[in-house]
Structure 1
Amino acid sequence: MFNQLFFRSDALTRQLSAPLVDERRQYLALCAAQGMSKCTMEVKARLLLSIAEYLRLAERPNDTIALPEIKKAASRWSRHNWPSPKSSQAKRSREYFTAQAAKWLTFLNRFRTPPKPASVYDQMLAEFRAFMEEDRGLSPATVKGCCSSVRPFLIQLLDGRRSLQTITVSDVDSLLAQKVNEEHYARVSIRDYASSLRSFFRYAEMRGWCPVGIAASIMAPRVFKHETLPAGPTWDVVQEIVDATAGDRPIAIRDHAILMLLAVYGVRSGEVGRLQLTDIDWQLEKITFTRSKMAGTHSFPLSPSVGAAIIRYMKEVRPKSLHRQVFLTRRAPVGPISNGAMWAVVSRQLRKRAPSLKHHGPHSLRHACATRLINQGLSLKEIGDHLGHRDVEATRIYAKVDLARLRDVADFDLGELL
């Protein structure tokens, strides 16, 4: 490993003669497997020597190191390289030293993290999560969303180690009102929060954690039916953003493949992120997605244009990696692309071409796909099957979104029939 990074004899000798040579070699091998460049690994190799020296790692091989000690060592190291501690370079160097030391020590199993005190609400949420997964059979995405909504409320409600037995409906109403008045949440968001809280308090009442009647008393703002119709770009705009990424830059090649999948199949961003190499059957020309909400898989015929975009990405851009996901990060450490990165892929294109849209994320392309299928004359059942809807009502809403067709109906001349 060191022979590949250093060619000067003095630099190579220093690396090989310094303490913890095996530990440093193993960590650098991991960095190489994550796709880091030779230049980055050379910088890391030099820094590992300083980390080992300033933390005296070889002198106490059985000790674990806590974050405060790492920060003190980072300050001493930074002062040696940047005499002015208040300069931006000194600050960045301290942060870099601290971050890299924590990663290396974690790899060595020598990073000591302070024990997180277990709170009452953590145990409650763990049992509530198990109830939703095992007893109710809800999907992981639904369970995660519900717990994410309930957790911040419990932190505030149980502030100061209050017992859930002392919580009243007024306490819950006050926090919901705060979301509206101070944080300016939309009515739909408050409705979803209230729904999650009702689910939790129904379970809490069943377990005897809180007084009976709180769940039934949690009120949500009235949201009119179809008040929030799904809004997506027109299909012309979708074609524009797909065409805009049909270039030769690596990021354009990757984005083009992602946009094609989102637009053609109307899948969710998480379903694209979970797509694995084995999910594409090139011989049978079939692609299979793992659904986010139905806890199952859904197979589609592999469109030639989509297949061509994926093949080009895999041949020209995709980093070599042990990860089985199709889409990976472009920079090291290489790993599966996140939902945030997926959102950015769509957003940076839609904001340019459809700035008036309320939402610019991947889900808007799902709405555009559904509306296009409506325009092509497919039945609600066929569209629901394509989108993976279990309830036809979830699909029926798209019939109300297609305003152009509704106007055609309104303008239809009945002629002599009247």
Structure 2
Amino acid sequence: MLTSLFPKYHRRYLESPVADWLAGFAEWLVSTGYAHDPAHDHVRRLKQVLEGRGSVTPDAVFSIAELTTMFAASRQQPLFSGTRRAFERFLAARGRLIVEPDCNRFAPLLDAYRHHLLETRGLAASTASQHLASAATFLAEAVPADASLQELSAQTVQQFVAAAGQRVKRQSLQHTIARLRAFLRFCHDRGELRARLDIIDTPRCYRDELPPRALAWHLVRKLLHSIDRSDPLGCRDHAMLYLMAYYGLRPSEVVALTLTAIDWANKTLHVEQCKTHAVLVLPLSDQALRVLKRYLRCGRPGSALPQLFLRGRSPAGPIKHTALCDVYEKRARQSGLPLQGSSSYSLRHAFAMRLLEHGVGIKAIGDLLGHHTLESTCVYLRLQTKALREVGLPLPSLATARIRSRA
């Protein structure tokens, strides 16, 4: 592996005192999904660090503090920090990393809560991590260092909720309070709290209290046109946002697409809708085919992974739906267009409004968007003000009203 990464100077690495470490690290990088250039740079930096440390035996182990000291002396700190993180993951995979005990006094409680979420409640790992993050934030902010959990009061809980309400919107605060209730209930059942503190008022959110934010179609086209597709990331971002705008896909549906989802012979795209779990077969226009072909040719890194869209940084891996939302915010900010307050879902809403304006029926739009009921689709009718004006009843004139009042 060292020979392929360093075809001209591989002897320097093979004859190095830490050649075994470099060879193992190089093999791990390539097998994990790192491209040639990042793997080359990581191995080169590790060689400098290990040789600067002195003697390193093949069976050596490292601690987190030791790694921090080893890599802190480098001048190009950001680049070497990335190599340190990669080497740390390599050591953990090989069982060579000394895991230091967690000094957090609530670590045993959080570990017990993790086991409760996963084993007793049967939550998914991602959902359990959100619960644990909310619990850890609450313990760090609401419980002073010199106080115990037994001293926690309802007033302290309310102060934490009020502070959280200043940072997030009502919809997000609802999730925070729900997770906080579950954690406080767990603590009371374990005897960690003197009284029940899980009775917390939650903000009210009403269905359809606000209409969906749909972008005007000319803004959608300007946004896509503003993306620079001369680099791989630009090709990838343009293709993902194009599918959301022209096919109404959710971010989670875009990132779940695979290479086999594209039927080039029949010019169709197979999409598994995340809510209805139905497979939707969409026709691909000539423009869509050109966008996808350009991305596969210029934007997608060479990888054996089945996912269509991969993250731009090594190691290669599928992009997450949250990253797609960040991509929209980044491209909207760079475009200079008046897109304040919009999100990636605004492209999906724009797709629905475009179909509605072209006379497509509500049932067909709902099927394309993957809605369970027509009630979810009918919210777009509130945005079609032109049609609403046509069906509105005329107001009686003032003269007619006076005649009726005299009669």
Structure-1-length-normalised TM-score: 0.75
Partner of 1:64: 61
What is the deviation of 1:194?
3.2
TM-aligned CA deviation for residue 131 of structure 1 = 5.8
Q: 1:221 aligns with which of 203, 208, 230?
A: 203
- Structure-1 separation of matches of 2:88 and 2:270: 39
Amino acid at match of 2:96: R
Deviation, 1:213, is 7.1
Q: Deviations over 1:240-289 (max 9, x none)?
A: 22344485543332222111211133222222122222333444544334
Out of 215, 231, 236, the position equivalent to 1:233 is 215
Counterparts of 1:406 and 1:73, CA distance in 2: 68
Note closer, same or farther for the CA distance 1:111–1:243 as it changes in structure 2 (3 Å cut): same
Q: Which of residues 209, 217, 224 in structure 2 aligns to 1:242?
A: 224
The 5 A counterparts of 1:197-208 are 197-198=180-181
- Per the alignment, residue 113 of structure 1 pairs with 99
* Post-superposition offset of 1:64: 1.6
Q: 5+ unaligned residues in a row in structure 2: which ranges? A: 401-407
Partner of 2:117: 128
Distance of 1:110 and 1:387 partners within structure 2:
49
Pair 306,55 (structure 1): closer, same or farther in 2 beyond 3 Å? same
Deviates more, 1:194-203 or 1:346-355: 194-203
Alignment map for 1:15-414 (pairs within 5 Å):
15-32=13-30, 34-38=33-37, 40-56=38-54, 58-59=56-57, 61-75=58-72, 78=74, 89=75, 91-92=77-78, 95=81, 98-99=84-85, 101-106=87-92, 108-116=94-102, 118-128=107-117, 133=122, 149=134, 152-153=137-138, 156=141, 162=148, 169-180=154-165, 183-198=166-181, 215=198, 217-223=199-205, 226-245=208-227, 247-293=229-275, 296-304=277-285, 305-351=287-333, 352=335, 354-359=337-342, 361-410=343-392
Aligned to 2:403: none
Q: Check 1:356–1:44 CA distance in 2 against 1; reply closer, same or farther (3 A cut).
A: closer
Cα RMSD between the aligned structures?
Answer: 4.0
2:169 partner letter: A
Q: Does structure 2 retain, via aligned residues, the 8 Å contact 1:257–1:310?
A: yes
Contact 2:154–2:197 (8 Å) recurs in 1: yes
**Is the Cα contact below 8 Å between 1:198 and 1:218 reproduced in 2?**
yes
Q: Are 1:328 and 1:337, in contact at CA under 8 Å, matched by a contact in 2?
A: yes
Question: Is the 2:113–2:186 contact (alpha carbons within 8 Å) kept by the matching residues of 1?
Answer: no
| Cα shift readout 1:81-140 (whole Å, capped 9, x = no counterpart) | xxxxxxxx4655764664454355345432223234643244325423556657xxxx88
Displacement of 1:148 in angstroms is: 5.2
Q: Please, which runs of 5 or more residues in structure 1 have no aligned partner?
A: 79-88
Residue 302 to residue 170, structure 1, CA distance change in 2 (3 Å):
farther
SS at match of 2:270: strand
Partner SS for 2:269: strand
1:119 aligned counterpart, secondary structure:
helix
1:42-62 alpha-carbon deviations (Å, 9 max, x no partner): 443433333333445643x33
* Contact 1:233 1:354 (8 Å CA) reproduced: no
Give the superposition deviation at 1:319.
1.2
What is the CA distance between 1:364 and its match in structure 2? Answer: 1.8
1:3-14 alignment, distance < 5 Å? 3-6=3-6, 11-14=9-12
Aligned residue number for residue 404 of structure 2: none
Q: Would the aligned equivalents of 1:125 and 1:151 in 2 still touch at CA under 8 Å?
A: no
**Distance in 2 of aligned mates of 1:122 and 1:270:** 30
Pair 1:210–1:271, CA change in 2 (3 A): farther
TM-score by length of 2: 0.76
Range moving further from structure 2, 105-114 or 253-262:
105-114
Q: Secondary structure at the match of 2:290?
A: helix
* Residues 149-158 or 229-238, more deviating: 149-158
Aligned identity (percent) is: 25
Checking the alignment, whether the CA contact within 8 Å between 1:288 and 1:297 is kept in structure 2 is no
Amino acid at match of 1:124: Y
**Higher mean C-alpha displacement, 98-107 vs 298-307:** 98-107
For 1:5-53, what per-residue CA distance to the aligned partner results, in whole angstroms no more than 9, with x for missing partners? 5466xx5433222234344224324445635344x55443433333333
Return closer, same or farther for 1:189/1:228 CA change in 2, 3 Å cut-off.
Answer: farther
Compute the displacement of 1:224 (Å): 5.5
CA distance in 2, matches of 1:62, 1:379: 68
Task: Indicate if the aligned counterparts of 1:35 and 1:319 stay in contact, CA closer than 8 A.
Answer: no
Contact 1:289 1:299 (8 Å CA) reproduced: yes
Cα distance in 1 for residues equivalent to 2:18 and 2:141: 47
1:63 deviates by 3.3
1:238 deviation in Å? 1.5
Q: Distance in 2 between matches of 1:390 and 1:140?
A: 26
Deviation string 1:197-231 (CA, Å, 9 cap, x unpaired) is 4566678788998789755x421234455343321
**CA contact 2:117–2:128 (8 Å) conserved in 1:** no
Q: Count how many residue pairs are aligned between Structure 1 and Structure 2.
A: 391
| TM-fit CA distance, 1:326 | 0.7
Return the offset for 1:173. 2.3
Partner SS, residue 320 of structure 1: coil
